[in-house]
Amino acid sequence: QCLWGPCGYPLQDCTPSGLSRHLKEYHFDDVINLWDDRSRGLCQWSAYGVPCGKEMLYEGYGKHIATVHLGSISRICPRCDHKFARMDSLQRHLRQ
């Protein structure tokens, strides 16, 4: 479920693009709070009632949430079973 502020909406697509779509539709959908990829803001994803607060460009929210908060794009090393948040981290690990 979405933990951006008090949302709680069930998330169907936890990919970075799916999360960005949800944020645009449910959290940045009015005249006061418009989505602009190049705007900067604070992540409002709440863990235990405390917002993350990491500052980033709006366009990075989906990837940040998928990677840091949900782990939905994490990959497991087939050799040692270590978990990596991103595919490029796993590829670097495998090269080493």
CA distance 43 to 52: 6
Residue 3 maps to a domain:
no
What's the pLDDT at 47?
A: 80
Report the C-alpha dihedral over residues 55, 60, 62, 66, rounded to 10 degrees.
Answer: -80
Return the pLDDT at 74: 82
In the predicted model, is pLDDT for residue 29 greater than 80? no
The answer to whether residue 84 sits within a structural domain is yes
85 falls within a domain:
yes
Residue 10 inside a domain? The answer is no
Residue 71 domain boundaries? 16-95
- State pTM to two decimals: 0.80
State the Cα–Cα distance between residues 4 and 45, nearest whole angstrom: 4
What confidence category does residue 30 fall into, taking pLDDT thresholds of 50, 70 and 90?
confident
Per residue in 37-92, pLDDT tens? Answer: 999 999 999 988 899 999 999 999 999 999 889 988 888 999 999 988 778 889 99
Would residue 86 count as lying in a domain?
yes
| 61 in a structural domain | yes
Question: Is residue 50 in some structural domain?
Answer: yes
9 domain-assigned: no
55 to each of 45, 82, 90, 92, 93, how far by Cα in Å?
A: 12, 28, 25, 26, 28
Give me the number of domains the chain comprises: 1
